[in-house]
Amino acid sequence: MSTKRKVTIAITTIISIIVIVLCAASAYLYTVISVPAKKSFLSNATISRNNPLYQNQQWFLHTKKDRWFETAAGTNLKLDAYYIPAQTRTNKTAIIAHGYMGNKDTMGVYASLFHQLGYNVLIPDDRGQGQSQGDYIGYGWPDRRDYVKWMHQVVRRNSKQSKIIMFGVSMGGATTMMTSGESDVPKQVKAFIEDCGYDSITNELKHEAKQLYHMPTIPFYPIEPMVSVINKVKNGFFYGDGNSVKQVAKNHRPMLFIHGSNDHFVPTKMVYPVYRASKGPKQLLIVKGAGHASSYQHNKRLYEKTVQQFLNRYVK
């Protein structure tokens, strides 16, 4: 066998091995990031008695919850939600979006907050999480269309005089921002509040690849597009489609942005481009010392005061 032939075989073999490794890594990462399952990197810590939000959680655990249902946009997937009427009849409703691998039961402390402010509360389970159907995590992008449908259901069931606000934490914060840019958000939606949402799905995945797997930037680039293609084939969207900055740039309603100054899961720096992009009245709260999705717990009084004053300003 000639030397040239040997070199060609060697190069072909190396390329084949690289392709196989990239495909295997992409399939593995897709399973880790997009398939609903227990995630070792997520904390499931319970709220203890000395936690400032303990009473909020206890109220939620013991309060009566109705069940609402919806069909996910563009699919036959059945979505499940809790609906908690306000103590005093009102046309104000808060729709709450949960975080990554969360569900309606993980948002109890926030349900308590809005209930105390006199709102009806609707907390859906996103596709593939909680008791909603589906086998993938949408990171807020397909879910934004589902939340528009939930909004219209509130209007149908609670009256055309409804005054709706949407609130979300972490992935739910990104979902809130992505929803804000949709052209068919009903006029009854008066404001949005997002807490520690990411500026884009791709940027968040890149950040987590570094944090969880210590993956440098260079290997990430050939893998991320491959994982995104897998997601497109399976679930109908590229990760690059989910861009909070682009969506918020189409929003003209009031939006409150909240982020902890010590957030390393969704870096604090991600809040600034989305805040600048929003076209409507806006407010930014950086909670000093707070980590990811812990701003409410870290400074309960400041959080409640800021949310209440913001809503009093824009939801009359």
**Per-residue model confidence as pLDDT tens digits over 9-21:** 666 666 566 656 6
Question: Do 105 and 181 share a structural domain?
Answer: yes
Q: What is the mean pLDDT of residues 43-62?
A: 87
Q: Is the pLDDT of residue 106 over 80?
A: yes
The pLDDT of residue 218: 42
The pLDDT of residue 45: 63
- Would you say residue 228 lies in a domain? yes
The pLDDT of residue 33: 84
Q: Give the pLDDT band (50/70/90) at residue 98.
A: very high
Question: Do 60 and 22 share a structural domain?
Answer: no
As a whole-number percent, the residues of the chain with pLDDT over 90 amount to 76
Q: What is the mean pLDDT of residues 206-210?
A: 82
Q: Are 270 and 203 in contact, with CB atoms under 8 Å apart?
A: yes
Q: For residue 197, give every residue at least 6 positions away whose Cβ sits within 8 Å of its Cβ, in sequence order, or none.
A: 140, 168, 169, 170, 171, 172, 173, 174, 175, 176, 177, 244, 266, 270, 274
Q: Give the pLDDT band (50/70/90) at residue 8.
A: low
Question: Do 7 and 55 share a structural domain?
Answer: no
Structure tokens at 245: 């900055």
Q: What is the mean pLDDT of residues 210-235?
A: 74
Highest mean pLDDT (candidates 32-41, 74-83, 212-221): 74-83
What is each CA distance from 102 to 107, 114, 131, 133, 170, in whole angstroms? 8, 19, 11, 14, 10
- Would you say residue 108 lies in a domain? yes
- Would you say residue 288 lies in a domain? yes
Burial 104-118 (b: 16+ CB within 10 A, else e): bbbbbbbbbbbbebe
Q: Give the pLDDT band (50/70/90) at residue 268.
A: very high
- For residue 107, give its domain range: 50-200+242-314
Helix H or strand E segment including 220:
helix 217-235
The pLDDT of residue 192: 98
Question: Do 287 and 188 share a structural domain?
Answer: yes
Question: Do 206 and 298 share a structural domain?
Answer: no
pTM for the structure as a whole:
0.91
Question: Do 257 and 142 share a structural domain?
Answer: yes
- Would you say residue 42 lies in a domain? no
- Would you say residue 73 lies in a domain? yes
Question: Do 94 and 222 share a structural domain?
Answer: no
Question: Do 136 and 147 share a structural domain?
Answer: yes
The pLDDT of residue 118: 98
Q: Are 47 and 58 in contact, with CB atoms under 8 Å apart?
A: no
- Tens of pLDDT, residue by residue over 148-164, are 999 999 999 999 999 99
Cα 56 versus chain centre, distance: 21
Q: For residue 121, give every residue at least 6 positions away whose Cβ sits within 8 Å of its Cβ, in sequence order, or none.
A: 82, 83, 84, 86, 93, 94, 96, 111, 114, 115
Q: What is the mean pLDDT of residues 72-92?
A: 97
Domain termination residue (choose one: 184, 211, 239) = 239
Whole-angstrom Cα Rg for the chain = 21
- Would you say residue 207 lies in a domain? yes
Domain termination residue (choose one: 239, 263, 286) = 239
Q: Are 224 and 160 in contact, with CB atoms under 8 Å apart?
A: no
Question: Do 175 and 301 share a structural domain?
Answer: yes
Number of separate domains in the chain: 2
Phi/psi-derived region of residue 46, left when phi > 0, alpha when psi is between -120 and 50, beta in every other case: beta
As a whole-number percent, the residues of the chain with pLDDT over 70 amount to 87
Q: What is the mean pLDDT of residues 114-142?
A: 97
Q: Is the pLDDT of residue 40 over 80?
A: no
Distance CA 121, CA 179 (A): 18
- Would you say residue 208 lies in a domain? yes
Question: Do 175 and 82 share a structural domain?
Answer: yes
Q: What is the mean pLDDT of residues 269-296?
A: 98
Question: Do 284 and 226 share a structural domain?
Answer: no
Q: Is the pLDDT of residue 195 over 80?
A: yes
Distance CA 305, CA 316 (A): 17
- Would you say residue 38 lies in a domain? no
The pLDDT of residue 48: 84
Q: Closest by alpha carbon to 254, among 278, 282, 274?
A: 282
Structure tokens at 141: 């992008």
Q: What is the mean pLDDT of residues 261-282?
A: 97
